[in-house]
Structure 1
Amino acid sequence: MTSDTPAPLLRDLLGPVALAAIAAAGRAASPRFDAAAFLDAAGHGLEPLSIMARVRHIADALGAALPADYAAALAIVQAMAPQLTRGFQAVAVTEFVARQGLGDFDRSLAALSNLTRYGTAEFAIRPFLTQDADRALATMAKWALDDNEHVRRLASEGSRPRLPWGAGVPALKADPVRAAPILEVLRADPSLYVRKSVANHLNDIAKDRPDWLVDRLAAWPQGDARTDWIVRHALRTLIKRGDPRALALVGVAHGAAVAVARFTIEPSAVRLGDPIALAAELRSEAAADQRLVVDYRIHYARTGGKTAAKVFKLRTFELAAGDTATLGLRQTIRDFTTRRHYPGRHDVDLIVNGVTMARAAFDILPPP
């Protein structure tokens, strides 16, 4: 792929090829699966839909191809899943349970614990949490003890208060710590896949209940590398905010005895698609070694003279007494689905151990 070739759209993961694969899986799973009806229903109106809208659209199309009896349909869906990729094809099949199974709560949750092994059921569990949070969380607490890492991850990921792309759950919005007992069980999980979910779940909580999070993590036993990994990643939002207690939990003092000898952004003006180079030089002014967490904050220009700030990680390291460290990175200025750039001045802060210590800037030029 050349640099001029546009990146494939995420929604295209559920295009005609995926529909054909799902239809083939249905035919292989049962003669009762009407592949023609599925392809007709799934293909109609698919093109303009986003990726998650396609997930729901395909799940509804499965209803046209499966038996009307839910138990029979569920058996076919579970037979289909192992034949699909571990991507959005299986997620779309899993979503059938969310769309059709709320009236058969226990059978549906048992199916989700099986289906998540082939394509995550983190989105499909959300309607069940909305319908009866206590009942769903009780089942998910059992999943946290399962031998399969995909099932254990579902217990954490499916109950995240701010699950990306996931439907909101009123009970979790009202009380973001409802799933805390699940996280306690998983705090030293052997699977990195699970630990990442636990850390992300805790980071969600940090945005609403920061004091609760720091208190809870401070009470966790120390010395287990797996738990320590979760704690570091769970605190990332609070560390970016310079929260002194969060910094202390990862062994970092608030503020540092350093001087900023240099902090530059080059070039001083760019257009979309151009890179900037950030360079910093820190000189220790301490008599002892220091652990430094160095971040940078870009104040993105917005319309009407407003700005929106975002903090990025630069480097975490030990700086010996009296030493000097040179840091740098390159970042290409390009638009993303979640971020659009506007012409204008962009201030950049250098943050060391939660304290802003220097500022530079660059301009984004309007299109020629």
Structure 2
Amino acid sequence: MSTHETAAPALKEIFNAERLQHIATEMSAVYPAFKTQAFLKHANQGLAELSVMQRMARVSESLHAVLPLDYEDSLDVLRELAPRLNSGFVSMCLPHFVASYGGHAFDVSMDALKYFTTFGSSEFAIRHFLRSDLERSLELMHDWTRDENHHVRRLASEGSRPRLPWSFRLEAVQADPRLAAGILDRLKADESLYVRKSVANHLNDVTKEHPEWVLDVIEGWSLENRHTAWIAKHALRSLIKQGDLRALTVIGAGAKPEVELLDVRVEPADVRLGETMTLSFTLKSTVAHEQRLVIDYAIDYVKANGGLSAKVFKLKTVVLAGVAEEVVQRRQVIKDFTTRKHHAGRHGVKVMVNGELLAGAAFNVNTD
């Protein structure tokens, strides 16, 4: 990193001291008896060591610690607070409050989650109710799929995802995706991209354990609706990366690619952390008719023990005219992430077209 660059603030700084003061100020505005100093003392204790999700939980716990009200009266105050908070992510402390202290009051709590989700999301909180009363929760969420607010419709799909990131898995839905199938079916042509992304992500989760079930569902849909077709393509993205023939066929790329890859290059040959490598090649048709082609590439990352671990990346989808050529290029910065640490060594690059490996190259990573 150069002296002119500064690191992006950590995500957990969404809940910093300034934000806690904001929450306290807005609470005092809607509930004048609010114990501001007691809240701040409780919320700030050990804050530096807490992750973003732990900080969100701390805010919820601190509100509960200083509010001398019963659960339902507390909800009335928090309902007034919700539209005054200056961050959608911060507002998720309110659904957390519901999940933590409202398990005894299903109807009141679910109605509160429906309201709070319009300001941020109740996706994490609602999973506690799904875990404790799955049938009742899913029945209500199924009704939410017809709500006029797209945040509420999205909650029905997102909250019931079997593998929602940053949350525990819903083992029952993971084992039997049919439990939430009615929700997905009702949302398969939703006008909101926010909702469609959730439906696609839910189905992509399911492909990890039940790929054939997902394919059966999507093959039963009419993909003439552009919203449904969009969901299908994104729901199948993991299977498409794996070269699954049924998934490729759904998006019109199931045929064997009749192409040549020319002048496949990865430049530079040696890359240091923070630098950019460029993959380039020419895609040449070998037939007279046009072809729909899904192009992916994989990098064989060197692991700490010297082994390799492949990661597939989407490159592009093209409709290549007969006997035509197209130059394809992709630049990628080689840098460490929390989910991936680079190790020195030779990294292979593979190019796949419609799931078929057609060419390869390599580059060296220097971590010194």
Segments of structure 2 that go 5 or more residues without pairing to the other structure are: none
**Which residue does the alignment assign to 1:112?**
113
Match for residue 124 of structure 1? 125
CA distance in 2, matches of 1:10, 1:71: 31
The structure-2 alpha-carbon separation of the partners of 1:2 and 1:200, relative to structure 1 and needing over 3 Å to count, comes to farther
| Deviates further, 295-304 or 27-36 | 27-36
User: TM-score under structure 1 normalisation?
Assistant: 0.97
Aligned 8 A contact 1:116 1:150 in 2: yes
Secondary structure at the counterpart of residue 12 of structure 2:
helix
* Rounded Cα–Cα distance in structure 2 between residues aligned with 1:95 and 1:351: 44
Aligned to 2:241: 240
Q: Which letter maps to 2:79?
A: Q
CA distance, structure 2, for counterparts of residue 2 and residue 72 of structure 1: 52
**Is 1:278 aligned to residue 289 of structure 2?**
no
Deviations 1:302-322, CA, capped at 9 Å, x for gaps:
011222211111111110110
Q: Would the alpha carbon gap of residues 13 and 130 (structure 1) be closer, same or farther in structure 2, given more than 3 Å must change? A: same
Where does residue 222 of structure 2 map in the other structure?
A: 221
Q: Distance in 1 between matches of 2:114 and 2:249?
A: 38
Question: 2:92 corresponds to which residue?
Answer: 91
Name the count of aligned residue pairs: 367
Alignment of 1:50-199 (within 5 A): 50-199=51-200
**Alpha-carbon distance between aligned partners in 2 of 1:3 and 1:172, rounded to the nearest angstrom:** 49
Deviates more, 1:302-311 or 1:345-354: 302-311
Q: 1-side partners of 2:79 and 2:44: how far apart? A: 22
**Distance in 1, Cα, partners of 2:33 & 2:95:** 19
Residue identity in the other structure for 1:346: H
* Alpha-carbon distance, 1:3 to partner: 5.3
Instruction: Give 1:86 deviation, angstroms.
Output: 4.0
Q: How far 1:28 sits from its partner (Å)?
A: 1.5
Two-structure CA RMSD over aligned residues (Å): 1.4
Give the equivalent residue in structure 1 for 2:349. 348
What SS does structure 2 have at the residue aligned with 1:164?
coil
Q: Residues 177 and 205 of structure 1 are in contact (CA less than 8 Å); yes or no, is this contact kept in structure 2? A: no
Aligned partner of 1:319 in structure 2 is 320
2:6 counterpart residue number: 5
Provide structure 1 residue ranges, at least 5 long, that are not aligned to the other structure: none
Contact residue 174 and residue 206 of structure 2 kept, 8 A: no
Scaled by the length of structure 2, what TM-score is found? 0.97
Question: Who is 1:16 aligned against?
Answer: 17
Determine if contact 1:127/1:167 at 8 Å carries over to the other structure.
no
Change (3 A) 1:307 1:68: farther
Shift of 1:276: 0.3
In structure 1, what is the Cα distance between the partners aligned to 2:25 and 2:144?
31
Quickly say closer, same or farther: Cα 1:94–1:326, change in 2 above 3 A. Answer: same
How far does residue 362 in structure 1 lie from its aligned partner after superposition? 0.8
Post-superposition offset of 1:24: 1.6
User: 174-183 or 197-206, which moves further after superposition?
Assistant: 174-183
Letter in 1 for 2:40: L
The 3 A distance-change label for structure 1 pair 170 and 253 is closer
> In 2, are the aligned partners of 1:248 and 1:254 still within 8 Å (CA)?
yes
Corresponding position of 1:332: 333
How far is 1:292 from its partner? 0.7
Partner of 2:256: 255
Quote how far apart the aligned CAs of 1:254 are.
4.0
**Contact 1:298–1:347 (CA under 8 A) maintained in structure 2:** yes
Q: 1:2 to 1:212 in 2, by over 3 A?
A: farther
What code does the residue aligned with 1:108 have?
Answer: S
AA partner of residue 139 (structure 1): L
User: Counterpart amino acid of 1:155?
Assistant: A
